[in-house]
């Protein structure tokens, strides 16, 4: 109830710091409490028919209530309210002392107590001002006592004793309540400050934890970049060393095949029939061996070319990139590249790009390489399924690309309606040199390097979702950043 009453007298447009509001609240509550006790004194004086006390308490009550309404209306500040409360309160205590025994009266002790209230409400400065006024009024009472000034007192001794006891009890209650309120408010403020400090420490701790995680991620990315650079140099060196003897194998296989053809068309024609049949058989086996050597040599050359291609390092510079534009560019590039090799191939392209997708700070060339690998694999899957399907099956090859943002990440979904990836080999799909394509059509490096680029180079995820016979879906998840 006290809180509601004090809130009523508090101006709604109060401006000031949190400390100002706290001090103003203490002063308003103290004035409200004292007004209630003054009303109690007034009733007591009416009961005892103590006329001077009635006038003093009534004036006291009117001054305090008027000051509260002036503060509510914004006419005076909370400091003015506090000084008015203390100074007028001391003045009314002085008048009460004058009519109830003067300097040697029992009520005079309140002139000594009032500076304590001023110190609690207004600080050291207010306490010194209140103390100065109290001492001055005490000197006035002493001077009046010294001069023998006597004010007629119509209250009897017993009534005076009763009044004094009730006065003491109520006054002590007032002081105790004000002091308890001040300390309670200070304690609440201290607890609030501790809570705010704890919240700030928690926030700082979370920020430090986030910074630490970012540093760890950056460290992993730097290590991965260094590894990739070293691996690229090593791969390029090995590939170049392999390429030279591999060229000799392929070239001599081709030359040997030509020599076998010349041998069959030349000297073998002069052999007797029985020897010619045996020689033709040997030359046929030799030709078949040369064809196998040439095929596997070409496959090894394709692997070496793939190693050289993937070992070529990008600038590694991160830039804000529009993933929608990047995905669309590499989708068209991959599709038209396949159409250039096989103009009979057709595929429906479906794009669902999120227009509100944020630009990401990524290495565009690396992410483009990943997208190119995924698109190429998707087109290959639907192309192979189209060749296996009967013409009457009405199969329409479809590759769907979708981008979206969810759970603080940006996702790129690449889905095809090909034959899918069997469960038995799905766990191996990102292993180096593992491929599901026939001999000579894949190196097994594309998905492996794509996985490293996404997970280690950019701190994201690359997962596969597949249902055998219905298609496969690769999902790239990249951190959306701030």
Q: How far is CA 7 from CA 10, 68, 83, 122, in A?
A: 5, 11, 20, 20
CB distance 335 to 347 below 8 Å:
yes
Residue 86 lies in a domain: yes
Q: Buried b / exposed e across 235-262, counting CB within 10 Å, b at 16+?
A: bbeebeeebeebeeebeebeebbeebee
Residue 228 lies in a domain: no
CATH of the domain at 459: 3.30.565.10
Whether 401 has a pLDDT exceeding 90, the answer reads yes
Whether 321 has a pLDDT exceeding 80, the answer reads yes
Tell me what the mean pLDDT of segment 327-341 comes to: 83
pLDDT of residue 475: 92
Q: Point out the domain boundary residue: 116, 132, 155.
A: 155
Residue 289 lies in a domain: no
Whether 91 has a pLDDT exceeding 70, the answer reads yes
**How high is the mean pLDDT of the chain?**
77
Rounded to 5°, angle at Cα 467 from 464 and 470: 115
Could you tell me the pLDDT band of residue 77, with boundaries at 50, 70 and 90? confident
pLDDT of residue 316: 61
Could you tell me the pLDDT band of residue 352, with boundaries at 50, 70 and 90? very high
Number of domains in the chain: 2
Residue 217 lies in a domain: no
Measure the CA–CA gap between 65 and 81, rounded to whole angstroms: 11
pLDDT digits (tens, 9 = 90+) for 423-443: 767 667 777 665 666 555 555
Could you tell me which residue, 426 or 57, shows the higher pLDDT? 57
pLDDT of residue 414: 93
Tell me what the mean pLDDT of segment 348-358 comes to: 90
Whether 367 has a pLDDT exceeding 80, the answer reads yes
Measure the CA–CA gap between 174 and 184, rounded to whole angstroms: 15
CB distance 427 to 470 below 8 Å:
no
Q: Point out the domain boundary residue: 127, 155, 183.
A: 155
Q: How far is CA 123 from CA 34, 115, 127, 129, 179, in A?
A: 19, 10, 6, 10, 13
pLDDT digits (tens, 9 = 90+) for 403-412: 998 888 899 9
Could you tell me the pLDDT band of residue 306, with boundaries at 50, 70 and 90? low
Could you tell me the pLDDT band of residue 157, with boundaries at 50, 70 and 90? low
Whether 223 has a pLDDT exceeding 90, the answer reads no
pLDDT of residue 197: 84
pLDDT of residue 402: 93
The DSSP output letter for 396 is -
User: 315: closest CA among 361, 359, 360, 364?
Assistant: 364
Whether 163 has a pLDDT exceeding 90, the answer reads no
Which of 3-17, 84-98, 149-163, 463-477 bottoms out in mean pLDDT, i.e. has the lowest?
149-163
pLDDT of residue 258: 77
Residue 126 lies in a domain: yes
Could you tell me the pLDDT band of residue 318, with boundaries at 50, 70 and 90? confident
CB distance 468 to 423 below 8 Å:
yes
Could you tell me which residue, 121 or 347, shows the higher pLDDT? 347
| Residue ranges making up the domain that contains 474 | 316-482
Which of 75-84, 178-187, 257-266, 452-461 bottoms out in mean pLDDT, i.e. has the lowest?
178-187
Measure the CA–CA gap between 204 and 181, rounded to whole angstroms: 34
Whether 149 has a pLDDT exceeding 60, the answer reads yes
Residue 295 lies in a domain: no
Whether 320 has a pLDDT exceeding 90, the answer reads no
Measure the CA–CA gap between 328 and 414, rounded to whole angstroms: 12
Residue 474 lies in a domain: yes
pLDDT of residue 231: 60
Give Rg (Cα) of the chain.
48
Q: Point out the domain boundary residue: 113, 136, 155.
A: 155
Could you tell me the pLDDT band of residue 189, with boundaries at 50, 70 and 90? low
Could you tell me the pLDDT band of residue 353, with boundaries at 50, 70 and 90? very high
pLDDT of residue 400: 93
Tell me what the mean pLDDT of segment 96-112 comes to: 71
3-state secondary structure of 380: helix
Residue 269 lies in a domain: no
């Amino acid at each position: 109830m006290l809180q509601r009453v004090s809130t009523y007298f508090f101006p709604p447009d109060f401006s000031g710091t949190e400390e100002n509001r706290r001090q103003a609240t203490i002063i308003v509550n103290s004035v409200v409490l004292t007004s209630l006790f003054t009303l109690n004194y007034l009733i007591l004086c009416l009961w005892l028919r103590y006329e001077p006390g009635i006038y003093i308490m009534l004036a006291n009550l009117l001054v305090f209530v008027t000051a509260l309404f002036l503060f509510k209306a914004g006419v005076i500040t909370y400091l003015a309210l506090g000084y008015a409360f203390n100074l007028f309160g001391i003045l009314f205590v002085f008048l009460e002392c004058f009519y109830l025994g003067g300097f040697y009266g029992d009520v005079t002790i309140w002139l000594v107590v009032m500076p304590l209230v001023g110190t609690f409400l207004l600080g050291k400065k207010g306490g010194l001002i209140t103390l100065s006024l109290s001492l001055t009024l005490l000197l006035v009472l002493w001077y009046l006592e010294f001069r023998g000034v006597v004010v007629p007192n119509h209250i009897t001794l017993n009534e005076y004793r009763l009044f004094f006891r009730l006065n003491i009890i109520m006054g002590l209650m007032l002081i105790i309540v004000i002091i308890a309120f001040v300390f309670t408010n200070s304690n609440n403020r201290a607890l609030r400050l501790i809570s705010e400090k704890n919240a700030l420490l928690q926030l700082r701790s979370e920020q430090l934890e986030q910074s630490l995680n970012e540093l760890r991620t950056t460290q992993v990315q730097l290590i991965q970049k260094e590894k990739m650079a070293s691996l690229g140099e090593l791969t390029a060196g090995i590939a170049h060393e392999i390429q030279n003897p591999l060229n000799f194998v392929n070239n001599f296989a081709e030359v040997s095949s030509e020599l076998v053809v010349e041998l069959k068309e030349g000297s073998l024609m002069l052999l007797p029939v029985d020897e010619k049949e045996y020689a033709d058989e040997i030359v046929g086996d030799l030709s078949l061996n040369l064809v196998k050597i040439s095929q596997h040599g070409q496959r090894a050359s394709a692997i070496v070319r793939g190693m050289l291609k993937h070992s070529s390092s990008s600038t590694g510079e991160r830039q804000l990139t529009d993933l929608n534009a990047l995905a669309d560019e590499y989708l068209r590039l991959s599709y038209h590249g396949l159409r250039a090799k096989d103009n009979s191939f057709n595929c429906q392209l479906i794009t669902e790009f999120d227009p509100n997708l944020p630009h990401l700070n990524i290495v565009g060339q690396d992410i483009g390489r990943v997208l190119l690998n995924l698109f190429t694999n998707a087109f290959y899957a639907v192309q192979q399924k189209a060749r296996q399907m009967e013409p009457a099956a009405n199969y329409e090859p479809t590759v769907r690309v979708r981008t979206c943002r969810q759970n603080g990440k940006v996702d790129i979904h690449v889905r095809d309606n090909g034959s899918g990836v069997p469960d038995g080999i799905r766990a191996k799909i990102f292993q180096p040199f593992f491929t599901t394509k026939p001999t000579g059509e894949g190196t097994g490096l594309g998905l492996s390097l794509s996985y490293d680029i996404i997970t280690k180079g950019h701190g994201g995820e690359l997962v596969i979702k597949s249902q055998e016979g219905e298609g496969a879906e690769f999902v790239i998840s990249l951190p959306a950043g701030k």
